[in-house]
Amino acid sequence: MKKQQNILIIGAGLCGSLLALRLGQRGYNVSVYEMRPDLRKVDINAGRSINLAFSNRGNKAMKLVGIEDKVKTLCIAMNGRMIHDKKGNTFLSNYSGRDHEYINSISRGGLNALLLDEAEKHENVSIYFNKKCKSVDFKKTTALFKDYETKSEFIEDADAIIATDGAGSAMRKSYYLAKKFLFSFSQDYLTHGYKELSILPTQTGGYKTYKNALHIWPRGSFMLIALPNLDGSFTVTLFLSYDEGTYNFDNLTTPEIVSEFFQKEFPDALELMPNLVEDFFNNPTAPLGTVKCSPWHYKGNTLLMGDSAHAIVPFYGQGMNASFEDVVEFDAVLDQNLENWEAVFKAYESTRKKDTDAIADLAIDNFHEMKDHVANPIFQEKRKLEMALEQNFPNEYSSKYSLVTFNEDIGYHEAMTRGRAQDKAILNMIADKEINSNDDLKVILKKVKKATQDILDDDKIAGLK
Amino acid sequence: MKKQQNILIIGAGLCGSLLALRLGQRGYNVSVYEMRPDLRKVDINAGRSINLAFSNRGNKAMKLVGIEDKVKTLCIAMNGRMIHDKKGNTFLSNYSGRDHEYINSISRGGLNALLLDEAEKHENVSIYFNKKCKSVDFKKTTALFKDYETKSEFIEDADAIIATDGAGSAMRKSYYLAKKFLFSFSQDYLTHGYKELSILPTQTGGYKTYKNALHIWPRGSFMLIALPNLDGSFTVTLFLSYDEGTYNFDNLTTPEIVSEFFQKEFPDALELMPNLVEDFFNNPTAPLGTVKCSPWHYKGNTLLMGDSAHAIVPFYGQGMNASFEDVVEFDAVLDQNLENWEAVFKAYESTRKKDTDAIADLAIDNFHEMKDHVANPIFQEKRKLEMALEQNFPNEYSSKYSLVTFNEDIGYHEAMTRGRAQDKAILNMIADKEINSNDDLKVILKKVKKATQDILDDDKIAGLK
């Protein structure tokens, strides 16, 4: 394919700006249209999560485009989950038994601004703001935009259009509504929604609670979490049912009830949040949804990438990482020098789809794990054992969490399959008292490996994998 | 609730006409609006499957409304799968080891006509044809119709609206497009489509091949099946990929290629189908999709039922049976005398949804089983063993197929969970040579039960169920 081809990217969020940067580096003529104002000039954080979990898969993409060091300055390491019980007791549960494996809290805005700056350094990359995509004619390879400044509409064409316009993608909607091909599509909402709150910095700009952890207040059917920001604040998120349980979003309607709820369930968090009631009633309650679809591409004309193709719930901290990994995978397909865009899009989707399906399912699993299992004794024993295995056999054992989060050279689907089998093996061996924490670790490792392999083999024979 | 309430039913297909009959029997004022002409007066078979598999769950509904004997006269028993290999060899694989367990081929039109006749016997039931529902205002409990005869549009209101308007439901579309509540929704297409063909009767009105079986020509990545009709004909269905493999719907474009394909893959069927080419090019190719959604109801105003709530692929022969079972389950909830329609709809969905999700997944499993596994030696050994277990321990063993098809008092979800565990247990014990067909059957039964229970227990501990 000729490098001088014109690529139109819809959306200059995290995925779109990274894709623009990478395609710019590869020599394509890239035009990016973004519906929001330039976030480097206007403050537009409202309604979207302020900070995000950034880990190995995301970092692999940063290495690919050569900005790993710049991104590092935006990161705050989170070594584990700091779990808070109702009495305010805390304990730290590391993410890995290997010290160099941790995740990071990063500012969405800061990272997006960096990616836009880097993309715009390329002459062959142009980014236009305040241009909202209304629909895509995938047969003609054209997109219809509304200019929010001039209020006029205009059509752009390109050799190929890639939509990175997020969970509410206009191009995905065009695929769905046009009914020109069989488009499999799902949107699945949890019965829980979320609301962002905050712990402000101390008067001297310090952190009011431990900085280097992802804080969790698990309460069985709901939970609160907090991630640190560079300015000393924490962004706090409440995950709660819309309409079930004693307290829910539908009935938390007065300052008194909200305060009562936090006093009863999260007293230590409430102490750090004198601004709770104000935040609670100022900030929106948003739904938690999973989107899957296929095909992502229409012939060689158009392609969905990032959240537009696979929006996931936030509980594995992998949403941004998965979208960045999309760009890494797409780049690898471009390296194969296939004959045309249709071959590229097809090859990309056929290798990538199983992995984005897997992280979507893993994220739902982790919703239940975080709000519930982390406070469960048998689960805690499993985690303790896995930490010991990772510490003592750093090259031989990785937990499901580590496979997903820290093993960027293993696809999500393989991480899920192996990780689930391991979890099942260990939980059953603990329950059946076939292993216990006093046993020799080498013996335990051998038993875990054998039981895991047996589970995988049995599933295979039953045609389940 | 008062019995004199007005219930509007959208769609007078199999589910809608059964529901109208049952609600009529219960004393409600029922109005049914159907977009098609009255199938008792006009021949409108084109494009929909002509015959269907009818089994225990469907029959339970017929008993409920008191028409079991009338339905029996429409049925042709199919005792098993008659499997045809490429050389024309056949062997019969029974559906059950118990003689009284078999499925039936039934005419869609004949059964629908009977249900309409029975419903209309009730003064409080009115059925209107040629009235197409365009949308539903679920907040106002009104539906907008187009009258195909007068070309005018009109609005109907009711105390409650129940949509039984099939896989392309107008009310489900209104739920989706209105965005007034969080509506989880999926449509998933297989990469295969289907086309109906036929084996005509002999000149004397006899059957050209064995009457009392569901014929299958499994070929790994595609298959042909045939179900008998009362007039001596068989309705034949080709399931084939749209665009993959040597032969597919996209490239079967000339009489020569179609004949070549059948000559090579289904020579014994071709002999019975001199009308093949004509049928092939006259009949449409249709997609195979699964639809799931939730919630089915909006407060106490509206409810989706039957295919509109859960369309499934046809490979378990359970589509009609599941929709009929909806009416049985709904009827059981009505018996609870709950306080209002909202409570009724909520109770119905919360017990029913897991079962319709399960049959949707089972139907996809069976697609792979029918086109592929039925010709696989280890699968055949399992089936032989299960037949022997069912024959010798009729009260102690049921295969997954029997649990789903012949055990109408067990929900689909439980049938799936137990059935999958049994399959996994048996396949693994055969593969590991832990059982073989020469063993004492009593010992085998004991081993199968123990291994099945172990699988269920292990899954439970791992939080998988």
* Structure token digits, residue B85: 């290999």
Which one of B172, B176, B180, B186 makes the best mutation probe of the A interface by having the most chain A beta carbons within 10 Å?
Answer: B186
Residues B165, B42: one domain? yes
Closest CA in chain A for residue B454? A428
Closest CA in chain A for residue B372? A463
Is pLDDT of A143 > 50? Answer: yes
Q: How far is A351 from chain B (nearest CA, A)?
A: 17
Half-sphere exposure of A251 (CA within 13 A, CB side): 10
pLDDT in tens, B209-267: 999 999 999 999 999 999 999 999 999 999 999 999 999 999 999 999 999 999 999 99
Across the interface, which of A185, A423, A463 has its CB nearest the CB of B462?
A: A423
Residues B134, B273: one domain? no
Give the closest residue to A2 by CA, choosing from A28, A22, A30, A32. Answer: A28
Across the interface, which of A188, A292, A462 has its CB nearest the CB of B427?
A: A462
Q: Residue A183 has what DSSP assignment?
A: -
Contact B187 A188 (CB under 8 A): no
Instruction: Give the sheet arrangement for strand A297-298, strand by strand.
Output: A125-128, A29-33, A6-10, A160-163, A302-304, A297-298
3-state SS class at B282: helix
Contact A184 B182 (CB under 8 A): no
Residues B170, B225: one domain? no
Q: Residue B87 has what DSSP assignment?
A: T
Q: Torsion angle of alpha carbons A186, A187, A191, A196, nearest 10°? A: 150
Across the interface, which of A185, A289, A462 has its CB nearest the CB of B423?
A: A462
A428 contact residues in B (CB cutoff 8 A): 458, 461-462
Which one of B250, B428, B456 makes the best mutation probe of the A interface by having the most chain A beta carbons within 10 Å?
Answer: B428
Give the closest residue to B147 by CA, choosing from B168, B166, B133. Answer: B133
The reply to whether A99 falls in a domain is: no
The reply to whether B93 falls in a domain is: no
Q: Residue A70 has what DSSP assignment?
A: H
Task: Encode burial over A113-142: b for 16+ CB neighbours within 10 A, e otherwise.
Answer: bbbbebbbebebbebebbbbbebbbbeebb
Contact B185 A187 (CB under 8 A): yes
**Sequence-separated (6 or more) residues with CB below 8 Å from residue B299:** B342, B345
Mean pLDDT of A197-210: 96
Q: Where a domain ends, among B272, B287, B302?
A: B287
Residues B198, B318: one domain? no
Question: In Å, what is the CA distance from A26 to each residue of A5, A14, A29, A343, B17?
Answer: 11, 19, 9, 18, 62
A461 contact residues in B (CB cutoff 8 A): 424, 427-428, 431
* Structure token digits, residue A258: 């909200």
pLDDT at B368: 84
Q: For residues B118 and B14, is the Cβ–Cβ distance under 8 A?
A: no
A424 contact residues in B (CB cutoff 8 A): 458-459, 461-462, 464
pLDDT in tens, A48-91: 568 999 999 999 999 999 999 999 999 999 999 999 999 999 99
Residues A419, A313: one domain? no
pLDDT at B43: 78
Is pLDDT of A439 > 90? Answer: no
A421 contact residues in B (CB cutoff 8 A): none
Q: How far is B49 from chain A (nearest CA, A)?
A: 20
The reply to whether B90 falls in a domain is: no
B189 contact residues in A (CB cutoff 8 A): 182-184
pLDDT at A313: 97
CB-count burial class (<10 Å; 0-12, 13-18, 19+) for A69: exposed
- The helix (run of H) or strand (run of E) holding residue B303 is strand B302-304
Is pLDDT of A380 > 90? Answer: no
* Structure token digits, residue B420: 């999958």
At A43, the pLDDT band (50, 70, 90 cuts) reads confident
Containing domain of residue B223, as a range?
A: 190-287
The label of the residue with tokens 């709950």 reads B338
List own/partner pairs for B240-243 with CB under 8 A and 24 or more apart: B240/B192, B240/B193, B240/B194, B240/B195, B241/B191, B241/B192, B241/B193, B242/A182, B242/B191, B242/B192, B242/B193, B242/B285, B243/B191
pLDDT at A149: 95
pLDDT in tens, B161-177: 999 999 999 999 999 99
Closest CA in chain B for residue A454? B428
Give the closest residue to B452 by CA, choosing from B382, B352, B360, B372. Answer: B382
What CATH number is given to the structural domain containing B115?
3.50.50.60
Is pLDDT of A465 > 70? Answer: no
Is pLDDT of B372 > 80? Answer: no
Q: Residue A340 has what DSSP assignment?
A: S
Q: Give one DSSP letter per residue of B55-69, joined into a string.
A: -HHHHHHHHHHT-HH
Cα separation, B315 vs B247, in Å, equals 21
Is pLDDT of B374 > 90? Answer: no
Mean pLDDT of A309-319: 97
* Structure token digits, residue A197: 């709150």
Cα separation, B215 vs B268, in Å, equals 12
pLDDT in tens, B135-147: 999 999 999 999 9
Q: How far is A191 from chain B (nearest CA, A)?
A: 9
B contact set with A (CB within 8 A): 182-189, 242, 287, 289, 292, 368, 373, 420, 423-424, 427-428, 431, 458-459, 461-464
Q: Where does A223-337 show beta strands of DSSP type E?
A: 223-228, 234-241, 285-294, 297-298, 302-304
The reply to whether A80 falls in a domain is: no
Cα separation, B225 vs A376, in Å, equals 51
Mean pLDDT of A326-335: 98
B187 contact residues in A (CB cutoff 8 A): 183-186
B289 contact residues in A (CB cutoff 8 A): 182
Residues A134, A42: one domain? yes
Mean pLDDT of A279-308: 97
Q: For residues A183 and A295, is the Cβ–Cβ distance under 8 A?
A: yes
Residues B138, B20: one domain? yes
At A3, the pLDDT band (50, 70, 90 cuts) reads low
Mean pLDDT of B146-168: 97
At B376, the pLDDT band (50, 70, 90 cuts) reads confident
Cα separation, B411 vs B321, in Å, equals 12
Closest CA in chain A for residue B287? A182
Q: How far is B293 from chain A (nearest CA, A)?
A: 8
Q: Give one DSSP letter per residue of B161-223, joined into a string.
A: EEE---TT-HHHHHHHHH-SS--EEEEEEEEEEEEEEEEPPPTTS--SS-SSSEEEEE-SS-E
Residues A276, A196: one domain? yes
Mean pLDDT of B370-389: 85
The reply to whether A203 falls in a domain is: yes
B184 contact residues in A (CB cutoff 8 A): 186-189
pLDDT at B46: 46
The reply to whether B140 falls in a domain is: yes
Which one of B173, B176, B180, B189 makes the best mutation probe of the A interface by having the most chain A beta carbons within 10 Å?
Answer: B189
Q: How far is CA B102 from the centre of its chain?
A: 15
Mean pLDDT of B112-122: 98
Percentage of chain B beyond pLDDT 70 is 97
Residues A132, A249: one domain? no
Mean pLDDT of all residues belonging to chain A = 95
A182 contact residues in B (CB cutoff 8 A): 189, 242, 287, 289
Q: How far is A274 from chain B (nearest CA, A)?
A: 32
Cβ count near B12 (within 10 Å):
28
Residue B294 phi, psi dihedral angles, 5° rounding: -170, 150
Contact B368 A185 (CB under 8 A): no
The reply to whether B82 falls in a domain is: no
Q: How far is B458 from chain A (nearest CA, A)?
A: 6
Taking 3-state DSSP, the helix, strand and coil percentages for chain A, each rounded to the nearest 5, stand at: 40, 25, 35
pLDDT in tens, B320-345: 999 999 999 999 999 999 999 999 99
Across the interface, which of B186, B187, B427 has its CB nearest the CB of A461?
A: B427
A contact set with B (CB within 8 A): 182-189, 242, 287, 289, 292, 368, 373, 420, 423-424, 427-428, 431, 458-459, 461-464
What CATH number is given to the structural domain containing A238?
3.30.9.30
Radius of gyration of chain B (CA): 23
Radius of gyration of chain A (CA): 23
Q: How far is B236 from chain A (nearest CA, A)?
A: 24
Contact A463 B368 (CB under 8 A): yes
Count of structural domains within chain B: 3
Q: Where a domain ends, among A287, A318, A353?
A: A287
- The helix (run of H) or strand (run of E) holding residue B249 is none
Cα separation, B301 vs B292, in Å, equals 20
Q: Across the A/B interface, how many CB contacts are shorter than 8 Å?
A: 64
Q: Where a domain ends, among B347, B367, B387?
A: B367
Closest CA in chain B for residue A291? B186
The reply to whether B299 falls in a domain is: yes
Contact A182 B368 (CB under 8 A): no
Q: How far is B202 from chain A (nearest CA, A)?
A: 39
Q: How far is B15 from chain A (nearest CA, A)?
A: 25
Q: How far is CA B449 from the centre of its chain?
A: 29
pLDDT in tens, A206-262: 999 999 999 999 999 999 999 999 999 999 999 999 999 999 999 999 999 999 999
Q: How far is CA A338 from the centre of its chain?
A: 30
Contact A461 B431 (CB under 8 A): yes
Contact B424 A182 (CB under 8 A): no
Across the interface, which of B188, B423, B427 has its CB nearest the CB of A184?
A: B188
Residue B425 phi, psi dihedral angles, 5° rounding: -60, -50
**Cα maximum dimension of chain B:** 72
Across the interface, which of A189, A420, A424 has its CB nearest the CB of B182?
A: A189
Is pLDDT of B417 > 90? Answer: yes
Q: Residue A122 has what DSSP assignment?
A: S
Task: Encode burial over B102-115: b for 16+ CB neighbours within 10 A, e otherwise.
Answer: bbbbbbbbbbbbbb
* Structure token digits, residue A412: 């999500």
Across the interface, which of B184, B242, B431 has its CB nearest the CB of A188?
A: B184
Per the model's pLDDT, the better-predicted residue between B51 and B465 turns out to be: B51
**Sequence-separated (6 or more) residues with CB below 8 Å from residue A246:** none
- Determine the number of helices (DSSP H) and then strands (DSSP E) in chain A: 14, 19
Instruction: Give the sheet arrangement for strand B75-78, strand by strand.
Output: B51-54, B103-107, B75-78
* Structure token digits, residue B240: 């084939």
Mean pLDDT of all residues belonging to chain B = 95
Residues B179, B204: one domain? no
pLDDT at A259: 98
Mean pLDDT of B93-113: 95
pLDDT in tens, B427-440: 999 999 999 878 89
Contact A184 B189 (CB under 8 A): yes
Is pLDDT of A375 > 90? Answer: no
Cβ count near B308 (within 10 Å):
30
Contact B424 A184 (CB under 8 A): no
Percentage of chain B beyond pLDDT 90 is 91
Closest CA in chain B for residue A463? B424
- The helix (run of H) or strand (run of E) holding residue B250 is none
Residues A16, A162: one domain? yes
Mean pLDDT of B443-449: 97
Is pLDDT of A46 > 50? Answer: no
Residues B344, B452: one domain? no
Contact A461 B428 (CB under 8 A): yes
Contact A182 B189 (CB under 8 A): yes
3-state SS class at A202: coil
Q: Where does A180-298 show beta strands of DSSP type E?
A: 184-199, 214-218, 223-228, 234-241, 285-294, 297-298
Give the closest residue to A464 by CA, choosing from B455, B281, B117, B150. Answer: B455
pLDDT at B2: 58
Closest CA in chain B for residue A368? B463
Q: For residues A111 and A73, is the Cβ–Cβ distance under 8 A?
A: no
